[in-house]
Amino acid sequence: MKKDSSPEPLADREIVTTRVIDAPRELVFKAWTDPEHLAQWWGPKGFTNTFQEFDMRPGGAWRFVMHGPDGVDYKNKSVFVEIVRPERIVVRHVSGPRFQVTATFAEQPGKTRLTFQMLFDTAAECAKVKGFAVEANEQNFDRLEAQLARMA
């Protein structure tokens, strides 16, 4: 009997967070693409960042350390896959756990509908992260909104 080799369903491998942000799309996109702004809000509540490399072009690297409120440092490396100003950013997180982020910025009158999709290679990898990532993504969006208020 032939083993079914079809891929795992997409829903089992993804975490999606969406929020309508009260800021114009160009400003939201700038907060994501200007490393000085991005470093101020990236990560859950209580985290800070040290960026070592931010080469925002397809194939370019984004290397940084997230400093947790508990004093633990989390080294991260990602590679930019696609940048479509001001609509979409695709980044492959290549340090563990491995996943691809697609951030889309949909324009609404005076607002931006931001969708943040994390797509994992396997359902097992996704399940390991889902327990904390859903809340962490919401905290990340809260911090983004606070940064946008400072930028406005």
pTM of this prediction exceeds 0.85: yes
The CATH label, of 3.40.630.10, 3.30.530.20, 3.40.50.720, 3.40.50.1360, for the domain at 14-45+79-151 is 3.30.530.20
Q: Which residue has the tokens 């947790």?
A: 68
User: pLDDT at residue 2 above 50?
Assistant: no
Tell me if 55 sits within 8 A of 63, measured CB to CB. no
- Interatomic CA distance for residues 57 and 79, integer angstroms: 9
With the CA atoms of 99, 57, 46 and 123 taken in that order, what torsion angle do they form, in degrees rounded to the nearest 10?
Answer: -10
pLDDT tens readout for residues 17-64: 999 999 999 999 999 999 999 999 999 999 999 999 999 999 999 999
Domain boundaries, the chain: 14-45+79-151
pLDDT tens readout for residues 60-101: 999 999 999 999 999 999 999 999 999 999 999 999 889 999
